[in-house]
Amino acid sequence: MTPLDPTAQLVGLLLVFLILPVAGFLISGRISRRNEITGPLTPKAIEDYFKRFHPNRPLPAKDKHEAEFLKLYEQHLGLMTFIFPGVVLLAAIGIGIQWVRIGAPLYPTTLGAPAAGTLAPMAVAAALGAYMWALIDFTEKYLRRSLAPANLWWASFRFVIAVPMAYALTGYFKEDVGVPTAFLLGVFPTQWLIGFARKVARKRMNFGEGPQGQESELQTLQSMDPRMAERLADENILTNLQLAYADPIVLSIRTNLGFSTVVDFVSQALLWIYLEDDAKTLRKFGLRGAQEVRSLWDELHENGDGTPEEKAEYKASAERTLATAAAELKMDKDALQYTFGQVALDPYTTFLCKIWQ
């Protein structure tokens, strides 16, 4: 049997390293991720979820709520959802690695100096840069247990566009740094590269500057950073209104954001659609989102737990908070209380409070 040349051995090793984090997530990380989402949900919360977001789906028997919910989870993040994007990724990786192999020095089986590769060094560097990006991305998401089928699609896209993107973008640099620049493009996120390519195209074709650095509306929510906003945008959640009335469980599954994190963002979005930027001012009063407003509303109407004396004390405290918040917002107290009532009694706020319990 003819031994594999060193280049082929290196190619095989690179492929193994890239597959390992994906395989690790599918074997163990996916199960841990599923337990993070399904663990806190009681059978009653699951029943309320089906009634709210899947009203046309036959409601399962009470002893089958969890099994039906797990079936729903598998539809969105089961092993089957990774098969097709995984096959496409393997094909894209094969193309990229083949570029590297035919461009790398060729080692004959007999003694002698290696011959030069047949592909331009720029293309080889670009393919290796795409490999570096995919390996970093997969490893990070494996460690965070946040790998999703969409990540495999983006990795495939990255391998396919690596070489043409490198040739297009490295034209902005001196020739002697073109090859290392093509490789180092692999450290940048895909969306950043696409944005940079658009900027270059607009400048070269005199299309105007276009929107510059426009912040996503989602980033008006506390702790919503650009990366989280991008993950929500991948699921077509572009505004706070869309987020406020999104299915928080499916959104958590598909974005791989923590379930508690998604619930908090949805709660904030529900308050934002009523008060917009004034919602930021309410944070200093402990009213970060719709759930906190619901708690204030219950205290105002003595709906909470406790003795009559405690309820009266809670009500007085809630009245003071309402009056202070109205003054801070320069709103009529009754008008703000009415707005709080709309937020607190919104059916989606009610659902969030139920599942949070």
Q: Where are the alpha helices (DSSP H) in 220-307?
A: 226-233, 240-244, 248-255, 259-275, 278-282, 290-300
Q: Which of the four pLDDT bands, split at 50, 70 and 90, describes residue 289? A: very high
Q: Round to whole Å and give the CA distance between 330 and 328.
A: 5
List Cβ neighbours of 258 (8 Å cut-off, separation of 6 or more): 36, 252
* CA dist., res. 304 & res. 307, Å (int): 9
Alpha-carbon Rg for the chain in angstroms: 27
- From the list 44, 37, 62, 64, the residue with the least C-alpha distance to 357 is 44
Predicted local distance difference test score (pLDDT) of residue 338: 96
In the chain, the amino acid numbered 154 is W
Residue 102 pLDDT grade (very low, low, confident, very high; cuts 50, 70, 90): low
Residue 303 is classified by DSSP as -
> Closest Cα partner for 220 from 271, 261, 149?
271
List of residues 6+ apart from 102 with CB closer than 8 A: 117, 118, 119
Element (H, E) at 179: helix 178-184
Provide the whole-model pTM.
0.76
pLDDT tens-digit profile of 112-147? 444 444 556 777 788 888 888 999 999 998 988 888
For the chain, what is the mean pLDDT? Answer: 82
pLDDT at position 113 is: 42
Domain chopping of the chain, boundaries? 6-204, 218-356
Which pLDDT tens digit goes with each residue over 225-259?
A: 888 888 898 889 999 999 999 999 889 888 878 88
Instruction: Give the pLDDT score at 210.
Output: 53
Q: What is the mean pLDDT of residues 140-167?
A: 86
Q: How confident is the model at residue 173 (pLDDT cuts 50, 70, 90)?
A: low
What is the CA angle 15-21-25, rounded to 5? 140
**Range among 144-158, 253-267, 269-283 rated most confident:** 269-283
pLDDT score at 111: 38
286: left (phi over 0), alpha (psi -120 to 50) or beta: left
- Packing angle of the helix pair 65-77, 30-38 (nearest 10 deg): 140
